[in-house]
Each structure stands twice: as C-alpha cells, then as structure tokens.
Amino acid sequence: MSDLPSSISLREVGPRDGLQNEAPVPTEAKVELVNALSATGVRRIEAVSFVHPKAIPQMADATEVWAGIDRRDGVRYSALVPNLRGAQRALEAGFNEIEVVVSASETHNRKNVNRSTAESLDEISELIDVVHDAGSTVQVIVATAWGCPYEGDVPVERTVSVAHRAVRDGADGIGFGDTTGMATPGRVSRLVGEFRSAAPEMAVNLHFHNTRGTGLANVMAALQLGVDDFDASVGGLGGCPYAPGASGNVVTEDLVHMVEDMGVATGVDLEAMIEAAATAERIVGRSLPSQVLRAGPRTRTTPA
C-alpha cells in the first residue's frame, strides 16, 4: 500500500478523554496509567484536562496527576483546556503543549462550555496570544466536526469556517473531533479535502470515536488522503459527558495492530500497549471494548 504514509504520529488520549467519562478514579491510578503508557513507545500523551471541577469532577486532580507522573524523555505530554483560565492553569503547571476545544455545533458548545461558538472563538484568539507569549503551542480542536447529538449533521462549511477562524488567529494546528461517532469514510474525505483547500499548510489531527463502529474505517480513509496524525485511546476508553451516546474512542491497540500490518509505522510496542490496556481495564473496573486486548494480535497463536 504505497499510497499510505510510511508512519503516523499517535496521541494517546486515554488518561484525559478516556477517564473523563468514567466514575472518578484515584490520582495514583491515573499516574499509574500515564506511566504505563509512557513505556509503550507512544510519543504523545494527553495527560490531563484543566477544567472546572464542578463541570468534570473526574479531572479535578489534574495538577496532582501531572506532578506525580514519571516524565519520560522523548514523550510529549499535553493538556486540554476549555478556555483561557484553563490555559493559564496548564501553563502555570508547566505544560508547553496546550489543546483547546470549541464545538462546530452551537448547541453542543453551549452544553460543553456555556457560551456560543463565536464567544469561544473570540476567547481562543486571546488564548493563542497568551500561550504563544509563554513559548508554548496551541492546537485548536473542533468538536462535533461531523455531527452533533442535539443538532444532527453539522455542515462541512460550518466546521471548516470554525477551523479557519482558528487558523487566522494563529493556531499551531487543527484537530477535528468526531464527538459521537457520526463520521463515515466519505464524510471524512469531504471534510479533510475542504479544509485542506482552505488551509493547505496547516497540520491536521483527527480524533475518531467508534460509537457506530466506523472508527477504523475512518482512520483508513484518512490514511489514504495522507493524514498522518491521529488520536486514540487505550482500551477504547472515552466519551463526552455533554454528548449523549458518545461511547469510546478508537482503540489505540486496535489501530496500531491494523496500521502496522499495512506497513505504517507507529513507534508503539503493541504488547506493551496491550498490557497498558489491561491496566486501564483494571483501573476502571469494567470490561473495555478493545478487540486486540481480548483476542491478542494476529501473530499470537494458541498451542494445538
């Protein structure tokens, strides 16, 4: 498959996106999970989110988690924030990679951060300047990029318009989030194509959920377009507290298993990631939707 990228960059989002939708787990368990993931070869980990504890109590100990992990050379740790105050807290904690989220859907943005999309974009413009002045980078993630549980389909033009505003304001990268798994391969191709036409030089990250079983198919469609930057979540943890039905993200170990077999390098030790998924399953106390955790990799055999 020579038309695919030779390698991709994975950002592991289990400790943040994964755990925000679970019953709160102890700080030391979160630290254990981040440390396990840091040993898998994954080069980027979304470690925490600086949100108001009343909004998402699962992330109330972000500062303690960040202070407790063993930070590994070669691994980049990032924090997600909803607003300028969250970005200031992340910078104060020592993060130099910040992600801020805004929804293409007006209704979801109000549910998520209690303001309009336009109001969020205005604050993000200020946030970008503050983060850049601190010598750090900002990726703007456009949530509900393909659809919203409240509004239904979100027009491609709307999503691209929100993303392009962030580009004009100086974002270092753009992510598109499929918050409730409404994307399909054709829709992925259209959005990526439209955005590239509007901002051909801007780095693109894609964040898929497997809510309707299309997660890996969407990854494949994006790979065929040359996209080489994806989010994934260990064990398939994940979801959005403000999006009904938003079940887990694309599973990291399932994604690694698929693309490595196609000759696309990830840098991830699959067996180590499977062990990390088992750790995640133990921490949350329930069975996770990972297929490779259950069945093992294709190369694993059972003695006759």
Q: Please give the domain boundaries of the chain with CATH numbers for all domains.
A: 9-295 (3.20.20.70)
Tell me if residue 240 is catalytic. yes
Angle value at C-alpha 223, between 280 and 160, nearest 5 degrees: 95
Is residue 29 predicted with pLDDT exceeding 80? yes
How far apart, in whole angstroms, are the C-alpha atoms of residue 37 and residue 94? Answer: 20
The mean pLDDT of the chain is 95
Residues sharing a CB contact under 8 Å with residue 114, sequence separation 6 or more, in sequence order: none
Confidence at residue 1, expressed as pLDDT on a 0 to 100 scale: 46
Q: What is the pLDDT of residue 101?
A: 97
| pLDDT value for 304 | 81
For residue range 153-183, what is the model confidence (pLDDT) as tens digits?
999 999 999 999 999 999 999 999 999 899 9
pLDDT at 301: 82
Residue of 240, 251, 264, 273 with catalytic role: 240
Average pLDDT over residues 132-156: 97
Tokens 């949530």 map to which residue?
143
Q: Rounded to two decimals, what is the model's pTM?
A: 0.96
Strand, coil or helix: 215: helix
In order, the DSSP letters of 92-161 are HHT-SEEEEEEESSHHHHHHHHSS-HHHHHHHHHHHHHHHHHTT-EEEEEEESSSEETTTEEPPHHHHHH
- Which secondary structure element, helix H or strand E, spans residue 175, and what is its range? strand 173-177
Q: What is the pLDDT of residues 279-293, one digit of tens each?
A: 999 999 999 999 999
Is the pLDDT reported for residue 89 higher than 60?
Answer: yes
Q: Please determine, for residue 246, whether its predicted confidence score (pLDDT) is greater than 90.
A: no
